[in-house]
A and B are shown apart, each in its own frame.
Chain A
């Protein structure tokens, strides 16, 4: 406890940064990942090819490499200046969206084709069919893998510490510089990660419960 009170400021700001990284990249990758999944099932071949290429490329690239790109290569393109934190959010979003895309796509595949046919027969356009009929059902069937992907994202935020972002992954370097007890310090870090994951697990359970009644 004494370590925690000594470093309470560090823990607070670090975990606040972690939460911020997580929140922005979670929303971003859910959006982008869903759009990519829509592209991958689109009747337009160009969209399908673009979606598939993106997923193959990004899913097979180590996360650190994506970070290196946004720290060192991207600035050379001189498009839009990103600070370290923004760069981390973009890297995490691009990386995670490839996984979300595949989860959502597998969900789309569980929706019976009759649902899409009924939508088309009623005159819904492709996007209306996905938005109102297919995706809502697809999401219900992939809650567990979706939440797993978000939990992985939460843990992946610690990679940002290697790229000048003061998130929870950076706590250990400060502790070791100042000669604090690493065993105690890192145990606290791990503990707080568990605390952050718990609400996600809880969200998963309640969504599963709610949506199991409806079908």
Chain B
């Protein structure tokens, strides 16, 4: 929000279409996320939120349109794409921690392998990050030995270890038991306050209200609304958004 107008947006999607076979999952998506902005993506299940998130680091290739990250168009498969992905942190619904590695080794792996950071330096940073997300005392354990909330916080630390320019979250709390949701949201809220550019797919309306600068509402592969949290929750424009909010808020 505060970025100077001359700087390129952190994420820029223009005319993006994506098909799964005959299924048109992203329909002419246009989206610009300036540096430092926190965007929450809302929408019913199957509306294309995950796909949108995954096209930004090309985990899903697109069929037409362009995507740029920090002014750089997404490269095709290969070393250059790997380099770009290193700058884009991603947190998955199912954590996806490396099952055969301890928590600290999960956090160390990419900085050492991809960024070639010296082991001791990477270890120092990893320890610092684990402290920040509140699980420094779990560093030596394996993912399966941790609770869901701890695993997701470890996954956030793993992504942050690459010092990413932008973080993508795809329903980071949807696989968690209710009592663990808040500990993960707290870490994300802190991150948002520190100025990280974030795109967050979530159903947590509290987080959207409190931490988001902007809310995007998707339905059937289209961005239907694009507004501030306050506007969206108090006065949704489209019927689909009203319908969606009605269902969510009665629960």
A residues touching B (Cβ–Cβ < 8 Å)? Answer: 43, 112, 114-115, 117-125, 128, 132-133, 136-137, 140, 214-215
Contacts and interface: CB of A to CB of B under 8 A. Distances in A.
Nearest to A121: B90
B92 interface: yes
Contacts, number: 72
B99 A121 contact: no
B85 A121 contact: yes
A124 B142 contact: no
A117 B92 contact: yes
B98 interface: yes
A128 B100 contact: no
A122 B142 contact: no
B114 A215 contact: no
10 nearest A-B pairs in the assembled complex, by CB-CB distance:
A123-B86, A114-B96, A118-B96, A122-B110, A121-B90, A123-B85, A123-B114, A123-B82, A125-B82, A137-B100
Contact of A117 (B59, B84, B100, B142): B59
Given A122-B158, A123-B86, A132 B109 contact: yes
Contacts of A132: 109, 113
Contact of B114 (A114, A128, A133): A128
25 contacts: A43-B77, A114-B92, A115-B99, A118-B96, A118-B97, A118-B98, A120-B82, A121-B57, A121-B85, A121-B88, A121-B89, A121-B90, A122-B110, A122-B114, A122-B159, A123-B86, A123-B114, A125-B82, A128-B113, A128-B114, A140-B100, A214-B100, A214-B142, A215-B100, A215-B142
The SS class assigned to the A binding surface is helix
B144 A215 contact: yes
Contacts of B89: 121
Given A43-B77, A215-B142, A123 B99 contact: no
Given A114-B96, A115-B96, A121 B114 contact: no
Given A123-B162, A137-B100, A118 B92 contact: yes
Given A115-B96, A117-B59, A120-B85, A125 B90 contact: no
Interface in B53-84: 57, 59, 77, 79, 82-84
B228 interface: no
Contact of A125 (B59, B79, B144, B159): B79
A122 B98 CA distance: 12
Interface string B86-127: 111110101011111000000001100110000000000000
Contacts of A118: 90, 92, 96-98, 155, 158
Contacts of A121: 57, 59, 85, 88-90, 159
B88 A133 contact: no
